[in-house]
Structure 1
C-alpha cells in the first residue's frame, strides 16, 4: 500500500494545491485550507514575514497543523529570487544578488555560491522550495515583468547560470523551480495584468527560449513553473501554456523528458483569472498536465478551485489516474526534500562542477557587486577628481509590486560618497518625480558641480519624470547616469558623459558604486543585454 493509498479523492486533490494566506501566524484562512481542504502546499509572501524567528515558528506550526490531518508534510515555498525580488527582507537571510547582476559577472560559481547559501538559510526556517531561478531569456527591451530577474539575453549564458543556481539550491536540500516555461523573456506585457503572446517559430523557440529549460532538466531540477503566455508554434489554440496539454504534457513531459513537478504560476494573475476564472483554470491546468496548482491569495478562489477539480473527477471530466500520477510525483518529492538531507547533499556536492568560497558572506557579496558593476561608456568624467563638487540625484524606491521589493536600507549613494568626499550634495526623489520637481532640481545645481543621476525603472520604460529630469540637466552638464535596475534606461535619454549599470540598489552595490566613482574600483562587469 502506498503512503497515500487510503486517501479520499478530496485528500488527493488537496495535495495538488499550493495556497497563500495573509497572517503572520496560523490564521483561519490557512487552517481551513489545510484541515478542511487538505492543501499540500503553502507559499509565503512578505505579508507573512515579521522576522526570521517568527517565520521559523510559523513553519513549524503549519507543519504541526498538517500532521493532524495527513501523513504527508506540507510543501512550503517562497519567491526568494535575489536582487529586487526577495519576500524575506530580514536579518538572518542573506540578500543575494539578482540574476542579471550575477550574469554580468560572467562567473556561474558566484551564482552557485549564492544559491547554496540562500538555500541553506531557507531550509533552516522551514522552507522546502524556492520558486527560483528565473531562466527566461530576456531579449525584449520593453519586458515589464522579467528584466533584471533574468541572467541576460544570451540563451547559453542563461542556461549555464540557471544550472548553477539549481545545483546550489538542491545541494542545500531545497527544491529549485525553473521558471517560466516555455519562456517569458520576449514579452512586452506583464502576465500579472493581461494576456501575452510569443509569436516565434519553433526553430527560434528551440534555440532561445527552450534552451535553458533543457539544461535545467539535465541538471535535475525538482520543479518547473509554467508561464501564462500563448505560444502559437506549440499550441495552435489561443490558450496560455499553463492550460495547454501540448505545452505541458506533449512538450515538457514527453519530448523534453521532465520527470519532476510541473507547478503553475498563480492562477489569480489576470492573464488567467480574467478570461478563464480561477476554478475553471484549475481544472484545465490539471488536464493539461500540471501537478501543483498555485492559488496565492483569495480564500474564496482557493476553495472554488479545489472544489472544481474534485467535481471534475467525480463527473469524469478529469480521469482519476491523472490525479494519482500527479500525486505520486508530489509524494516522491516530499519524501526526497522534506526528510533528512545529509546523505543526499554530500552525494550531490561531490559531483558539483562549481567551487564554493569560504569567505564570509558580506565579503562575498561585496566581491560580486564589484565584479557585476558595468561601465557602458565613459567620456572621461569617471573617476571623480578628489575634492570635486558633486550633486547626486537619488530615487527612493517605496512602491512594492509583484516583482519589485524595495530594499529597506537607508544608505544612498550620496551618503556613502560623503564618506570619501565632503563636497557632496544629494537630492532624493521618488521614482515618479513631477516636471516641477525636475525644474527645481535643475535650478539648484551649482556651477562646477559634477551631476550624478541615478535612475530606477521597475517596469520596461523609464518614468517620464526621470527622463525629463535627465534631459533638463544634460543641457548644461555632462552627466554620470547610473541605472540602478534596468540597463535599458540608456536608450531613452541623451548620451551622458558616463553610463553605469548596477542592476539593483542593494547595500553591497551602493558601496561598490562609490568605489567606482572615486577611482578605487576597476570595473569588470559585462552587459548581459544589448543596448541597441
Structure 2
C-alpha cells in the first residue's frame, strides 16, 4: 500500500508491536489489529504449544489483518537460542546460545545455526527474530546478559554476530542486533531498574559500539534499543531508548544506520516506572525509534496508541518523521515477502529437527564444552558410585523460564557409569536444602555438581553445597550450566568445566567429556579471573578468531 493512502492512525499502527495472552486469537489482539491497525505481534511461551498450533496462530493473525489492509504483520519472537528461547520443543531445532557459540570460535557453525533457526521460524509464520544479542559481556555481575553474549571481545562478538545476522536473513527472517548501544557492562537488569554505563566516548566507540557498527555494515534489518543510560552520549538522565542524542544523532546520523530502530519492551521498569508506558512510547518516537514494543498489558498498549496519535496531531511528533518510519517498515515487509501466508503442508512435521540440523547442534555443543581445570578426576571412574546434583530452574524471571527437563547430564552418563543417581535442588537452595543435599551425598564415591549462576548472590546455597562437598569428598567435579564465572565462588575445586547452557544436547556433550569419550574443545569466551583468562581451555582446539 502506498503510504499516501494511509491515515494517521494506520501509520501509527504500523509503528507499534504488541503481545497478547493465550494460544488462540483473543478479543484484545483482534481489537488492536482491527481498531488500532497494529503492525506487529510478539510471541511469548504463553502463545506457543506446538509447531502446528504456532503456524495456525500466525496464519489466523495475518488473515485478521488482511481483512483491513494488504500490509502484512510482523510476527516476532525472542529466539536467541540456548537459555533464551520461547520455543524449546523436542521436535524443533533448539540452537545453542551465544556464549556456547563463542566458546567454539566457529563462525560457520554460528551461521548454520541461525539459518536453521530462521528456516524453522518462517515455516511457523514467524518472520522476525529479536536476535542476536551483540552486547559485549565484560561484567561478571551482569544479571541479564551473561550467556546471551558471545563473549567479552568485540572481534569475537562481531564475527559471530554478523554470521548469525546473515544466517537469519538468508532464511528471509529479519534479524535484530541488540541492545544498542550495549547492555553488557551493567550490573542492573533493565527489566527491574535503570542501569548506567559510565565509560567515556572513546571506550564506548572502541568496544561497545563495534559490533553494532559492523552489524550495520552487514545489513541488519533492525536494531533494538537498551533501556540503559550512557552519559558520554546523553548527559541528561535519559536511557538510550528515549534519547534523541543516542538514537538519532548517534545511531541514525553518525553511524548512518538506515534500517529500523525498535525499542525494547516499554513495560520494563527502566521505562514504565520512570515515564509510564504511554509517555515512554512518545519519547521513544521523538528520540528516533520506528517501532515501540509493548508486550503485555492491553490497557498499556491502547494507551500507547492513543498517546502517539495525540502527539502526532498536536505536532509534538512530526508527520514527516512518522512517514519516514513507516516507509522503512513497509519496505522491509515487502523486501522480506511477509505477505506470504504460512501453511501446514503434508510434510510439515518432517521439515523440523532434521538429522542435518541436529548434527549442527551436536557439533556446536561438542566444540563448546570448556575444561578449565582438572587435578586428575577425569575421566570419571565407571565402577564408582556416582551422584549428580542437578539445579532445577523453578522460579520464573525475565531471563529464566522454568521447563520440565527430563534429560540432564545424569541421563547422559547412564550408558557409561554403572551406578548413577541424580539429586535435584532448586537454583535458590536454602540452609535446609543445602544440609539435605550434603547428607544425601555422604555415601557416594564421585560427585558431579552442576551449578546454575552460582556467581549470583541469590544463589549462595549452590556455592555452600559445593564448598561443603569439596571439604568432605575427594572426587568432586563442578560444571557450570550457565554463566562460567561460578568458579570464582569455590576456586579450590579440583575439576571445573563450563557448558554455558543446560539443554539436552549440551548435557550429552558434557557427559561424553566427563567419561573421556570426547575431548573438551571449547575456549573461554570471557575471563573468569587472572588465572583463567579469555581463550583458556585444556585439551582444546587451537582455532581462534583472527
Retained in 1: the 8 A contact 2:234–2:246? yes
Aligned runs of 1:80-229 on 2, under 5 Å?
80-229=79-228
Matched, 1:413 2:409: yes
Name stretches of at least 5 consecutive residues in structure 1 with no aligned partner: 342-357
CA apart distance, 1:91: 4.3
What residue is the counterpart of 1:426 in the other structure?
A: 422
Q: Deviations over 1:81-133 (max 9, x none)?
A: 00011111224431100000000001011110000000011111111100000
Q: Is the 8 Å Cα contact of residues 455 and 486 (structure 2) preserved in structure 1?
A: no
Deviations 1:292-347 (A, max 9, x none): 11000011100011110110111111111111110010010111113589xxxxxx
How far the C-alpha of 1:407 sits from its partner, in A, is 4.5
Q: Does 1:520 align with 2:493?
A: no
1:35 alignment counterpart: 34
Report the Cα distance in structure 1 between the residues aligned to 2:20 and 2:337, rounded to whole angstroms. Answer: 21
Does residue 277 (structure 1) correspond to residue 273 (structure 2)? The answer is no
In the alignment, what sits opposite 2:385? 389
Query: Please, which of 446, 451, 454 is the counterpart of residue 447 of structure 2?
Result: 451
TM-score by length of 2: 0.92
| Maintained 8 Å contact 2:393/2:400 | no
> How far has the Cα of 1:197 moved from its partner?
0.2
**For the residues of structure 2 that align with 1:514 and 1:411, how far apart are their CA atoms?**
12
Structure-2 change in CA distance of 1:339 and 1:41 (3 Å): closer
Matches within 5 A, 1:47-66: 47-66=46-65
Flag the 1:339–1:17 CA change in 2: closer, same or farther, 3 A.
closer
Partner of 2:345: none
Q: State the shift of 1:445 in Å.
A: 2.7
1:69 and 2:65 aligned: no
Question: Counterpart in 2 of 1:490?
Answer: 487
Deviations 1:2-33 (A, max 9, x none): 62211111111111000000021110010000
- Secondary structure of 1:453's aligned partner: strand
DSSP 3-state at the match of 1:404: coil
Please give the residue correspondences for 1:231-380 in structure 2 after superposition, counting only pairs within 5 Å.
231-339=230-338, 360-380=356-376
Deviation string for 1:447-492 (max 9, x for gaps)?
A: 5611211101288446011111111111122421110111011111
Q: Is the 8 A contact 2:499 2:506 kept in 1?
A: yes
* Aligned CA-pair RMSD: 1.5
Measured at CA, do residues 132 and 518 of structure 1 come closer, stay the same or move farther in structure 2, by a change above 3 Å? same
- Cα distance in 1 for partners of 2:432, 2:70 equals 62
Indicate if the aligned counterparts of 2:162 and 2:214 stay in contact, CA closer than 8 A. yes
SS at match of 1:282: helix
> Cα deviation per residue 1:153-196 (whole Å; 9 max; x = unaligned)?
01110011000000000000000000000000000000000000
Distance in 2 (CA, whole Å) between partners of 1:401 and 1:212 is 27
Structure 2 residues not aligned, in runs of 5+? 341-353, 530-546
- Which of residues 444, 465, 470 in structure 1 aligns to 2:466? 470
Deviations, residues 417-462 of structure 1 (Å, cap 9, x unaligned): 1221112222111111221222222233345611211101288446
| Equivalent residue, structure 2, for 1:400 | 396
Aligned length: 515
Change (3 A) 1:272 1:340: closer
Task: Report how far residue 513 of structure 1 moved.
Answer: 1.0
Partner SS state of residue 475, structure 1: helix
Determine the structure 2 residue equivalent to 1:354: none
Could you say which residue in structure 2 is the equivalent of 1:344?
A: none
* Aligned residues of 2:365 and 2:506 also touching (Cα < 8 A): yes
Residues 385 and 446 in structure 2, CA contact (< 8 A), matched pair in contact too: yes
Q: Within 1, Cα distance between the matches of 2:43 and 2:77?
A: 5
User: Which digits, 9 at most, give the CA deviation of each residue in 1:26-71, with x for residues without a partner?
Assistant: 1001000000111100000000011110110111110110011112
Q: Secondary structure at the match of 2:273?
A: helix
Is contact 2:428-2:458 (8 Å) kept? no
Quick check: 2:103–2:368 contact (8 Å CA) kept in 1?
Answer: yes
Query: 1:345 maps to which residue?
Result: none
Instruction: Tell me: CA distance 1:249–1:375, structure 2 relative to 1, closer, same or farther (3 Å).
Output: same
Structure 2 residue matching 1:30: 3-state secondary structure: helix
Give the 3 Å change call, closer, same or farther, for CA 113–415 of structure 1 in structure 2. same
Equivalent-residue separation in structure 1 for 2:414 and 2:89 (angstroms): 27
TM-score normalised according to structure 1 size: 0.94
CA separation in 2, counterparts of 1:119 and 1:152?
23
Could you tell me which residue of structure 2 aligns to residue 508 of structure 1? Answer: 505
Aligned-partner Cα distance in 2 for 1:128–1:437 = 44
The Cα offsets for residues 245-295 of structure 1, whole Å up to 9 and x where unpaired, read as 110011101111110000000000000000100000111111110001100
Residues in 2 aligned to 1:458 and 1:391: alpha-carbon distance in whole angstroms: 19
- How far has the Cα of 1:367 moved from its partner? 1.5
Instruction: Describe the SS at the equivalent of 1:445.
Output: helix
2:260 and 2:291 in contact (8 A); partners too: yes
| Distance in 2 of aligned mates of 1:151 and 1:243 | 27
